[in-house]
Structure formats: C-alpha cells, structure tokens
Structure 1
C-alpha cells in the first residue's frame, strides 16, 4: 500500500488511528477525526504531511466560513476599481479569481495533504455544500467557465470537536475515527517525545496530578495534551520539586484557562 502512515518522530498515534488513516488514504476518502480538544486531531495532518513528505494546506473553518471560500473568490470590487481607474485589462476576468484552499489542493501538480480544521464551527449546510467537490474532485468557476479538476487527488483530513452533528450524507462519504483521550501509558509516550530527558519522578507525579485534575467534578474545560506539555515546561523552568505536586499545582494557569476552574481547584486545595 503506497503512502502508508506509520507515525512520526513527533506524533504518537494509537495502532487503531494508524490503521484507519491508511485505510482512508487507500480508499481515497476524507478522514473525519473527532475528539475533545487536546487529542491531537489538528497535528495529525501535519504529522502525515511530514511522514509522507507532502505539502500541507490548512483550511481553518470559522462560524462565518462558506463552502465557496474554499473553492475560489471572485474579487468583483477590485475589478470595478480597476475599471474606474483605468488600470490593467479588466477583460481578463481570470486575474480577479483567487483559488481557496480546496482549489489550491486541486490545482497542485503534486499530491498534497488538505486539512479542513474544525468543520463543525460552520453552519449546518456547510458540509453538504462540499459533497460534490469532495466526491468528484472538481468545481466550476462560473465567471470564467473554467472547470478546476484535481490533478492529484489530495489526502483530506477533516477535524471536528463534536460541537454539532454533521449531516448523514456527508458522514457517508468519510472514514470516521474518534480519538479517545490518551490514557496514562500513551500520554507517557507523548511526553517522552517532547521531553526525552524528563526525570522519572517528575513524569510520574505530573501524570498523577494531571489525571486527578481531569477527573475533578465541576471543571468547565478539562486540560488537554497541549496544556500538559506547557505545564511541564513551566515546572521545569520554575525548578519545581516533583514532590510538591502532592499538595499543590504550581503554575495552574498553564493547565486551566477559565477563572471558575482555577478557583475551584484552589478551594479544594485549601
């Protein structure tokens, strides 16, 4: 099987995630990855790009994003301005057309990795508006009459934080995988990738404190992997003795991002 992803030196993936990723690549279907923040959904695409030595294109989805934005944008305002100012040849409509990330991926001479990040941030119709393009790997530019077809079918990775349900018609076209939050064993491997020289005592105490914190009732936003890695760096820079993690959580602001959560932790430590 060509283009097999076996992980990378900076990304630790479960065996199941590796298998699902390679199946999606082999079947030429988008890989839809769900999971809570901090489970490595977004950096998966970067890891695949690095491992397969392919260019990564990232389409960051916002609440205002429309499917059209990923195809192309026709700058009618600039054309009108050029017409009024007598600048350039306004009859060349093509120069006022700028391809979006999907259009760039289709136009690339070499296969690329396309990340559609946090698709659930857009409105409910957004995924359905991409069905034809993701199926047929082509779209028309109505202003010029040109059809943009994929020269090389991109490897498409789509992430979702499961904030809203995605349409069934869209789901049928994807290979789906839910990334469970790493257990202590897998998290230990992830930490070792980023901090290979971390003392065993610090690693043990950090993991214990971190998972006790995540299990605490009442937290509005549980800390994820990126917060844990930041916290470890803060502990190292602060010269914190791992033994003190039994009683307190120094630099708790590296782990928790809401005032209510920080106050909750402080009250329980009193």
Structure 2
C-alpha cells in the first residue's frame, strides 16, 4: 500500500514519504502543523487513495482514552434489570464499541484518524500506549481480548497546543506540515478552483502572504481561509484592484472577514496599511507583493 496523493489533495514529496514510511513501519503517523494546513484532510485522502474505510475519532477536551476502546452503560443495565428486561441478562447489550474497537475488527485494513489529540488531557496519549503498540485490549465486563485483525493505518493530528509525552512520541513516525509556499499554494488553488483568473490569484496571494508576515498578528490566516476568501471574491466576479478603486478609502481588503478573525488583527492591519500609504505618497499601483494593503 503506497500513497501518492490524489487529484483533490496536493501532497508534497516529504509528506508522501512520511505517509508511506508510517505504513511500512506499521506505526502511527503523527502530523503537526498550523491549523488549516490539511492535517485532517490528509487522513481522508489517504483512505480514498488506498480504497480503505476511514474511521474518525475527533478528540475533545473531555474525551477519555477508554472511550476509544469501549463504554459500558451500567446505569441502563441496572434500570432495565429493575424493570425485568430480558436484555439485561447479557452484559454485551450495554457495551458500546469505540473507534479503536471498530478499527481493530474491520474486515479490510482501515485508516484510523485520531484528530487533534492535543485537545485532551495530558495523560490521554499515555493511556493509549499499550493499545496502539500491541493492537489489542481487554474488555473487563465480558472477559474477552479484542485483537486487531490487521494493524490499521493510524494518523494522529496535533495543533501543538500542548506537548505530547516522550513515550508516546517514540512510538510514532513524526511529520510537520510546513506552511505552503506560493508555488505550492497556487497548485492547491488550482485543485480547488480550476480556471480561476490568474490576476485574481496573484493579487490575493500578495495580500494573503502580506497578512501572514505582519509582525504582531495574533491569528495568521490559513490555507482553508484563503480558499474561502477566493471563493467569495470569485462570487463577486471582480478583481481586487477594481474593488479597491471602487472604495479607495478602505484600508482592509474586500471581504477580509474570511482572513482576519479578531478585531486586534483588523486594527493592526488597518494601522500598518495607513502607514504604508503615507510612506508611498497615497498608494502604489505597481505589481508584485506590496506590503500590508496588498
């Protein structure tokens, strides 16, 4: 099984190498990177490319490791027993299989996505060490051991909100998705919006990367936000230059709410754009990347 990318996902050479290395080693692939760089989508595309079932486990701050194995509903069983329900006699009726159980017993080798593992408690990764290592776990209520029919392809994502334990990291193959450069970003845009006007892409990328390079910006716009912004600009069916000419006093680009997500960054951008205009003597119509106002 080898991943070579898909028509819907631009995978760089180093990312393809990382995916295939993790598959060959039969180790979880730990993917880190900025939000919006395609970490979660990677698992979807790997499953699609390999013709595998995708099993998704999205982690929240309240998620416990045992929920990925199974959950036993003792309260429902007690209630049913008190009411004389026949099903209360079999404990298996009250065990809900978790995502790891589903992955371990899948008929064909699946892709298991453990998404945003760093959202959970710090002990969460350690609590899964044995299960991910041995690919088995014990069900105390029934006395059975659930073993993986074949090792699933495990992809774990992290936004680096907290450090992961060393013991957990040793068991993973690690890859950091770098933020796309302009060449790669153009390829990503072409995949999502084939036939988009080149001038619109050029102007948009100039503004987008200028925003990301602003010193002091709190929330840098991501790839997914750029794609949303381009979609809105395409709906307007007008280029950025014409939009600016229609509203020359505007310091922020049109529809900037798709890119800037808090008032501090909007204020910062407006302030730097104002200073840039003063230095340029009222604006600069030249090409290329042009500072904060794009």
What is the distance in 1 between the residues matched to 2:87 and 2:117?
A: 38
Out of 254, 258, 265, the residue aligned to residue 254 of structure 1 is 258
Deviation sequence 1:109-145 (CA, Å, 0-9, x none): 1111000001111111111111100011000110010
Q: Which runs of 4+ in 1 moved over 4 A?
A: 244-248
* Aligned-partner SS, 1:163: coil
Candidates 208, 212, 224, aligned match of 1:214 = 212
Q: Give the TM-score, by structure 1 length.
A: 0.96
How far 1:78 sits from its partner (Å)? 1.0
Deviations 1:53-98 (A, max 9, x none): 1111111111111110100000111101111222233121011101
> What is aligned with 1:64?
62
Contact 2:199 2:239 in 1 (8 A): no
State the shift of 1:179 in Å.
0.7
Q: Distance in 2 between matches of 1:125 and 1:245?
A: 51
Aligned residue for 2:264, secondary structure, equals helix
Determine the structure 1 residue equivalent to 2:194.
Answer: 196
After superposition, residues 31-46 of structure 1 pair within 5 angstroms as 31-46=29-44
Tell me whether 39-48 or 259-268 shows the greater mean CA deviation.
259-268
Gap change, CA 1:140 and 1:243, over 3 Å in 2: same
2: distance between equivalents of 1:237 and 1:5?
34
Q: Distance in 2 between matches of 1:162 and 1:155?
A: 22
Deviation at 1:258, TM superposition (A): 1.4
In structure 2, runs of 5+ residues without a counterpart are 245-250, 275-294
Farther off after superposition, 239-248 or 117-126: 239-248
In structure 2, C-alpha distance between the alignment counterparts of 1:194 and 1:48, rounded to whole Å: 18
1:27 paired to 2:25: yes
Instruction: Name the structure 2 match of 1:269.
Output: 273
Larger RCO of the pair (alpha carbons < 8 Å, separation 6+):
1
Q: 1:162 aligns with which of 160, 163, 176?
A: 160
Once structures 1 and 2 are overlaid, which stretch shifts more, 235-244 or 61-70?
235-244
Counterpart of 2:48 in 1: which secondary structure? helix
Q: Secondary structure at the match of 2:221?
A: coil
The yes-or-no answer on 1:133 pairing with 2:131 is: yes
Whole-Å Cα distance in 1 between the matches of residues 71 and 54 of structure 2?
A: 21
Change (3 A) 1:88 1:258: farther
**Distance in 2 between residues matched to 1:232 and 1:13, nearest whole Å:** 21
CA contact (8 A) 1:105 1:114 kept: yes
Q: Aligned-pair distance for 1:269?
A: 3.3
3-state SS, counterpart of residue 219 of structure 1: coil
- Unmatched 5+ stretches in structure 1: none
Q: In angstroms, what is the RMSD of aligned CA positions?
A: 1.3
C-alpha deviations, 1:22-59, integer Å up to 9, x for none? 01001100000111111111100001011111111111
Query: CA shift at 1:206, angstroms?
Result: 1.0
Whole-Å separation in 1 of the counterparts to 2:107 and 2:72: 23
Q: How many residues align?
A: 268
Please tell me whether Structure 1 or Structure 2 has the larger radius of gyration of its CA atoms: 2
Taking the aligned partners of 1:242 and 1:197, their CA distance within structure 2 comes to: 17
| Distance (whole Å) between structure 2 residues aligned to residue 263 and residue 253 of structure 1 | 12
With 34-43 and 256-265 compared, the bigger mean Cα shift is at 256-265
Cα shift at 1:188: 0.5
Instruction: Confirm or deny: 8 A CA contact 1:138 1:150 kept in the other structure.
Output: yes
